[in-house]
Structure 1
Amino acid sequence: MATILPANLLRRAEQQLTGELEGVVPGNGSLTPRFILVGEAPGETEVTSKKPFTGRAGKELDQSLATLGVTRQEIYITSALHSRPYRVVTKLSKRTQQTYTKKDNRPPNQRELKRQAFLLDFELAHLPCDLIMTIGNVGLQRLLGSDKKVGQLHGQLLSGPVRCWSETAQTYQLTTKQFRVFPTFHPAAVFYNRKLAAELAADLQQFKRLLVDEGN
């Protein structure tokens, strides 16, 4: 397992860290993957381990991969943002009744996604694979546009170009390379809405049939 991202791009991302962002977690997996999985952003555990999906959601992801009959070693796992977006919050300790501050995860904003777009753009351009599974809205919208919703598109195979960031034009443009994008729910969403479990399971069976039909 490895990352396709070169050291100079990772250094650039590190040097650009500002505000409430920390760490740079490169995509990781096979460099000839059966498919590319695009998540939202790393969390605290991922920033520490420098590997995607090593926290609580990673355990749910491993179950999903087992359902598909694939391993992490056979796919490439990355995210829309490669750094952890956080907010500092003040909380009250139930044990001591004292207040304390901590970093809580938050969704990435558009400015952060654009600033780091060169990482995901490089991965998609250089991995020899056109099949992408997006999990959650952030990855889906980064690739196909902010009007796309996983609740409406999950379980469908969407073919066409995806968005990449143009530094020159300072806007998203479409890739010349064609991709097939399969949106589904983020594993963590099931923690908060168990009703999604059945829909996620159905999506996985649909995607598994696709892999089998392709002999992939």
Structure 2
Amino acid sequence: LEEEMELGWAGWENSPAIKLGQEISAVSNLDSIRQELGDCQRCRLHASRTRIVFGTGNPHAELVFIGEAPGREEDLQGEPFVGQAGQLLTRIIEAIGLSRQEVYITNVIKCRPPENRNPALEEIAACEPFLIKQLAAIRPRLICALGTFAAQTLLKTEAKISALRGRFHVYQGIPLMPTYHPAFLLRNPQKKRDVWEDMKKLKKEYEKLRAASAAQNAQ
């Protein structure tokens, strides 16, 4: 691995894995969150969706990938990242030595916006609380935000993904790496090198956290 870029901040290595659990009550696992979501009609997206796309993967994952919203294939199958962009994400995950079954994959928005348009503010307001609860239940140690929308929503910024990627940020005490969305890479394959640089940093931090956990458990 190449040397990682300067992070520009320090101290999160010893911070709690997540603090969100203090903010919610009576929601301790993903099943109960999905039940709470129900046949959601909290925003207008319910009128055009086929299926709610909640999330998939390891409910105790140490690494969570978060995208924008379901596309056509995801809307039909009810699972995130199963189309062409999803196949590319699978290859990216495998390239850092993991599998889809080891990580957790979800989106900020759980229903497909018509014609894959950008989600509206009221749709974000309706859906984001469920993402927060998902993260509280999973308690990941690392997050990868895929694309501008996911990164801007999580980090509460208007900065472009090109300015955010390449270094870690912090979301609720959790190191977060923004990178380009796989769908963007399909249209702009020249950016794959940038994503690989981001993934090498992500892999390095993942391995460091795993090693620290193993050392702590051995004591």
Does 2:44 correspond to 1:18?
A: yes
1:183 shift after superposition: 0.6
**Structure 1: how far apart are the matches of 2:106 and 2:148?**
15
Alignment of 1:45-124 (within 5 A): 45-86=73-114, 104-124=115-135
User: Could you say which residue in structure 1 is the equivalent of 2:11?
Assistant: none
**Higher RCO (C-alpha 8 Å, min separation 6):** 2
1:125 shift after superposition: 1.6
User: Could you say which residue in structure 2 is the equivalent of 1:197?
Assistant: 192
Stretch of structure 1 that moved more, 104-113 or 56-65: 104-113
Contact (CA 8 Å) 1:155, 1:207: kept in 2 or not? Answer: no
1:8 shift after superposition: 3.0
Q: Structure 1 length as normaliser, TM-score?
A: 0.77
Specify which of 58, 65, 80 is matched with residue 30 of structure 1: 58
Secondary structure of the 2:189 match is: coil
- What count of residue pairs does the alignment treat as equivalent? 180
Contact (CA 8 Å) 1:39, 1:80: kept in 2 or not? Answer: yes
Tell me: CA distance 1:50–1:160, structure 2 relative to 1, closer, same or farther (3 Å). Answer: closer
Amino acid at match of 1:11: G
**Structure 2: how far apart are the matches of 1:117 and 1:160?**
14
Secondary structure of the 1:16 match is: coil
1:146 shift after superposition: 3.3
Alignment of 1:151-190 (within 5 A): 151-161=162-172, 178-190=173-185
Structure 1's consecutive aligned runs of 4 or more residues displaced over 6 angstroms after TM superposition are none
Q: Structure 2 length as normaliser, TM-score?
A: 0.76
Contact (CA 8 Å) 2:62, 2:141: kept in 1 or not? Answer: no
Q: Identify unmatched segments of 5+ residues in structure 2.
A: 1-28, 212-219
Stretch of structure 1 that moved more, 74-83 or 114-123: 114-123
**Structure 2: how far apart are the matches of 1:5 and 1:117?**
17
Q: Deviations along 1:156-191, whole A, 9 cap, x unmatched?
A: 111252xxxxxxxxxxxxxxxx22111111011112
Tell me: CA distance 1:42–1:193, structure 2 relative to 1, closer, same or farther (3 Å). Answer: same
RMSD: 1.8
Tell me: CA distance 1:201–1:126, structure 2 relative to 1, closer, same or farther (3 Å). Answer: same
Does 2:150 correspond to 1:150?
A: no
Amino acid at match of 1:36: V
**Structure 2: how far apart are the matches of 1:146 and 1:24?**
27
1:12 shift after superposition: 5.2
**Structure 2: how far apart are the matches of 1:150 and 1:65?**
20
Q: Would you tell me which structure has more strand in proportion to its own residues?
A: 1
Q: Deviations along 1:128-156, whole A, 9 cap, x unmatched?
A: 22311001011111111132321012121
Q: Deviations along 1:74-130, whole A, 9 cap, x unmatched?
A: 1111111010001xxxxxxxxxxxxxxxxx222212221111122101101221223
Stretch of structure 1 that moved more, 144-153 or 129-138: 144-153
Q: Identify unmatched segments of 5+ residues in structure 1.
A: 87-103, 162-177
